[in-house]
Amino acid sequence: MTGLAKDPLLKMEKINKWFESIQAVNDVDFEVYPGETVLLVGDNGAGKSTLIKMLSGYHQPTSGEIYFEGQKVIITSVECARKLGIETVYQERAIVGSSSVAKNVFLGREPTRAFGPIKIVDSKLMKEKSFSAVNEGLGLNISSMDQEARFCSGGEQQGIAIARALLFKYKLVILDEPTNALSVSGVRQVQEFIKELGKKGIASIIITHSLSCIYPICDRIVALSRGSKILDKAKSEISLQELENTLLD
Amino acid sequence: MDNSKRVTLFFVDNLIWVILVGIYTLFVVLNPGFQNLNFFYRLVYFSIPLGFIVLAEAICLLAGVFDLSVGQLTGLVAMTSGVLIVKTSLFQGVPDFLLVLIPLIMGLGLGAFNGFLVGKLKLNPFLATLGTYLVFYGAKLQATGASTVFGFPDVYLIFGAEAIPTILMFFLVFGVLYFLLTKTRFGYHVYSVGSNPEASEMLGVRKSKIYFLVYLISGTLCGFAALAYTGFVGAASPTVASDTVFMAFAGAILAGVSINGGRGSIVNVIGGILLISTIEGGLTMLDVSVYYRQVLFGALVIVAIIINQAREKLKDRILLPR
């Protein structure tokens, strides 16, 4: 599942990011291989979110290059990131509470069918596909895709956010604090989701403070501190205890 | 969901119609003149000019913004179109039936101005449209000399003067709006931006684009209102639609459109429009004084807000799974 023998899917080379006089990211090299699950850790202010936002189109690096599938890329917007095959699942999960589950899954990418010269939303297809992604693909049990998303539990909402990644065939999914404020069963569900992404050959970057939740399911760990990379090891090369100790220093 | 819940949910979602029937029945009891079916038909016809303005406000509310300038925009369009058509030779050679496009295009243009301020410059919608309220008001009086314009061609006045073309025009426009809001990606995005603009933005829906388009539509609907008011009265008056913004809000809120954005049915807005007309018509027939009517309308808006809050809480209780 790590595919280290192949070329990296994503290569961030000598990335620097300055916000006026503050350096948020300092000369970072970061790679992700196809199908790999990378755990990205570090304290608050370490630069993890900033690094990731350069992949989702929110920021541009002050200097450095990004390569995706071997090609140099400049990611200027969410649409741009999507076209490349990168999807970000945010901490806040980007859920519209008063919209239905189906509408949330397909937000921004609603499927359409032609009605003469006009395109209308194919709501039936939306419901079918979201049902199968959320219930069959992710093992949730949401009975109606018309249910408003605000009535879903935290784990279910995370599932909706991740279902987007499953449905739209991304190559790289970034999850920012996916287990935040979830119950034990919610955390378990998220772990299963991430494993599911790996099974489908989708690479993922997981940012989290909950090392014990994600360490068991990752392939490699990268740690940042004050904008610089301080660790980049395969899971087999470092135990959870050792990882925690490194971060405590 | 069991059947009793389904029935309750249906009533909760369509409460405006229940209230409309109730109030109408009340007036029928109080005043036999209401029983006449022809009276109802005329009630529908009379409510159309304001109806366009209520729709304009409703679509803004759905997207999570406001348009305080709706009334003044309508007035400015009506007056300026009037001056250009009747008092200048600008449209001399143009066939009469094409003249109806003038207020519509003007409404679109002024709506685009609102859309530019909120969408592109990202100004606060309340403040921006408060500003344009004042600008349009001043422009209306300054540019047109503030005197009523008479002498429009008959074809121009027909939308407003005659019941059937007016009602047809309204329902045609409403039909297009309904289609846009419920069947197209744009409509889905209006609701999602209205409900959670940040989440929508994160998923690639540009809220600035949605705001711009919504104000465009709002302005165009005000253009239709200008046409209807002019036809109704047979002239373009500087006071037309002046205080309608309050009724526009009232009509939309009464119909269950949420002030916070992202929730509400455009079909129910028709109910809100008819309710306002019914109350207005009923109070007129009962010879209630104008000032007392103002008090009653104000009280009505407050009651509407209370009812809607209770309605939404009840709906939440019904929809909560398990």
Check B185 against A107: CB less than 8 A apart: no
Query: Cα-Cα-Cα-Cα dihedral of B298, B299, B301, B307, to 10°?
Result: 180
- Output the six-digit token pair for B106: 């003007």
CA distances from B109 to A119, B127, B163, B172 (A): 26, 19, 28, 21
Give the long-range contacts of residues B318-322, CB within 8 A, separation 24 or more.
Answer: B318/B1, B318/B5, B318/B8, B318/B9, B318/B12, B319/A147, B319/A148, B319/A151, B319/B9, B320/A151, B321/A143, B321/A147, B321/A151
Question: Which residues, at least 6 apart from B95, have a Cβ–Cβ distance to it below 8 Å?
Answer: none
Residue of A nearest to B187 (CA): A121
- pLDDT at residue A241 greater than cutoff 80: yes
Q: Structural domain boundaries of chain B?
A: 15-319
Is the distance from CB of B246 to CB of B294 less than 8 angstroms?
no
Residue found by looking up tokens 């406000």 in the block: B57
Is the distance from CB of B72 to CB of B219 less than 8 angstroms?
no
- Output the six-digit token pair for A203: 């690479």
Q: Is the dihedral of CA B61, B63, B69, B72 positive or negative?
A: negative
Q: Please state which of the four CATH numbers 1.10.10, 1.10.3470, 1.20.120, 2.40.160 is assigned to the domain occupying B15-319.
A: 1.10.3470
CA distance A172 to chain B (A): 16
State whether residue B6 is helix, strand or coil: helix
Q: How confident is the model at residue A1 (pLDDT cuts 50, 70, 90)?
A: very low
Question: Distance (Å, rounded) from C-alpha B59 to C-alpha B265?
Answer: 10
Q: Which residues of B touch A151 (CB under 8 A)?
A: 319-321
pTM value is: 0.88
CA distance B100 to chain A (A): 26
Q: Which residues of A touch B187 (CB under 8 A)?
A: 121
Q: Which residues of A touch B188 (CB under 8 A)?
A: 103, 107, 110, 121
Check A121 against B200: CB less than 8 A apart: no
Question: Distance (Å, rounded) from C-alpha B35 to C-alpha B227?
Answer: 30
- Looking at the complex, does the CB of residue A146 fall below 8 Å from at least one CB of chain B? no
- Looking at the complex, does the CB of residue A80 fall below 8 Å from at least one CB of chain B? no
Among B183, B188, B319, beta carbon nearest to A148: B319
Question: Distance (Å, rounded) from C-alpha A239 to C-alpha A218?
Answer: 12
Among B187, B195, B204, beta carbon nearest to A99: B195
- Average pLDDT taken over every residue of chain A: 88
Mean pLDDT, residues A133-138 taken together: 82
Is the distance from CB of A187 to CB of A4 less than 8 angstroms?
no
Facing residues of A112 across strands? A121
Q: Is the dihedral of CA A199, A200, A205, A207 positive or negative?
A: negative
Q: Residue B306, exposed/middle/buried by CB under 10 A (0-12, 13-18, 19+)?
A: exposed
- Output the six-digit token pair for B145: 């000399």
- Looking at the complex, does the CB of residue B202 fall below 8 Å from at least one CB of chain A? yes
- Looking at the complex, does the CB of residue B176 fall below 8 Å from at least one CB of chain A? no
- Looking at the complex, does the CB of residue B321 fall below 8 Å from at least one CB of chain A? yes
CA distances from A187 to A183, A239, B203, B225 (A): 6, 21, 24, 55
Question: Would you give the end-to-end CA distance of chain B in angstroms?
Answer: 9
Check A103 against B188: CB less than 8 A apart: yes
Residue of B nearest to A83 (CA): B204
- Looking at the complex, does the CB of residue A94 fall below 8 Å from at least one CB of chain B? yes
**Interface mutation target, options A107, A119, A170, chain B, most CBs of B under 10 Å:** A107
CA distance A84 to chain B (A): 14
- Output the six-digit token pair for B187: 């409509």
Question: Distance (Å, rounded) from C-alpha A223 to C-alpha B145?
Answer: 71
Is the distance from CB of B170 to CB of B52 less than 8 angstroms?
yes
- Looking at the complex, does the CB of residue B134 fall below 8 Å from at least one CB of chain A? no
Check B205 against A96: CB less than 8 A apart: no
Predicted pLDDT of residue B322: 56
Predicted pLDDT of residue B13: 86
Check A95 against B196: CB less than 8 A apart: yes
Could you report the predicted ipTM of this complex, rounded to two decimals? 0.86
Is the distance from CB of A164 to CB of A2 less than 8 angstroms?
no
Positions in chain B whose pLDDT score sits under 50 = none
Question: Distance (Å, rounded) from C-alpha B282 to C-alpha B269?
Answer: 20
Check A110 against B188: CB less than 8 A apart: yes
- pLDDT at residue A3 greater than cutoff 50: no
